[in-house]
Amino acid sequence: MPHGGVVHMSPVDVAGLASPSPGTRGSQLLDFALDGETKVFTLTTQVARWSILPGVEVGAYTYNGAVPGPMIRVTAGDQVRIVVNNELPEPTSVHWHGLQIPNDQAGAALLDFFKPRVEPGTFGGKVVAGQVAEFQPGTVSHVRQGRFFISRLEDGGMLALWHRCTHLGCTVPLREDEGQFHCPCHSSIFTTRGEVVSGPAPRPLDIFPSRLSMVR
The tens digit of pLDDT for each residue in 88-121 reads 887 777 766 665 544 333 233 344 444 444 454 4
Q: How many structural domains does the chain have?
A: 2
The answer to whether residue 94 is domain-embedded is: no
User: pTM of the entire structure?
Assistant: 0.44
CATH code for the domain in which residue 45 is found: 2.60.40.420
**Residue 69 belongs to a domain:** yes
Per-residue confidence (pLDDT) for residue 212, from 0 to 100? 66
Asked if 86 and 122 count as a contact pair (C-beta separation under 8 A), the reply is yes
Q: For 118-153, what is each residue's pLDDT tens digit? A: 454 443 346 677 787 888 899 999 988 778 899 998
Instruction: Determine, yes or no, domain membership for 138.
Output: yes
User: What pLDDT, on a 0 to 100 scale, did the predictor assign at position 126?
Assistant: 62
Using CA atoms, how far residue 21 sits from 3, 7, 50, 51, 66, in Å, is 16, 16, 10, 9, 11
Query: CA-based angle 203:20:82, to the nearest 5?
Result: 55
Look at residue 95 and tell me if it is in a domain: no
3-state secondary structure of 13: coil
Clarify whether residues 27 and 73 are in a common domain. Answer: yes
In a domain, 201, yes or no: yes
147 and 78 in a common domain = no
Same-domain status, 17 and 75: yes
Is the residue at 80 inside a domain? yes
Per the CB < 8 A criterion, the answer to whether 145 and 129 are in contact is: no
Q: Are residues 113 and 83 in the same domain?
A: no
- The pLDDT of residue 9: 44
Verify that 139 and 206 share a domain, yes or no.
yes
Q: Give a yes or no: residue 151 inside a domain.
A: yes
With contact defined as beta carbons under 8 Å apart, do 158 and 103 qualify? yes
Distance CA(46)–CA(89), nearest Å, equals 9
Show the domain range for 27: 2-87
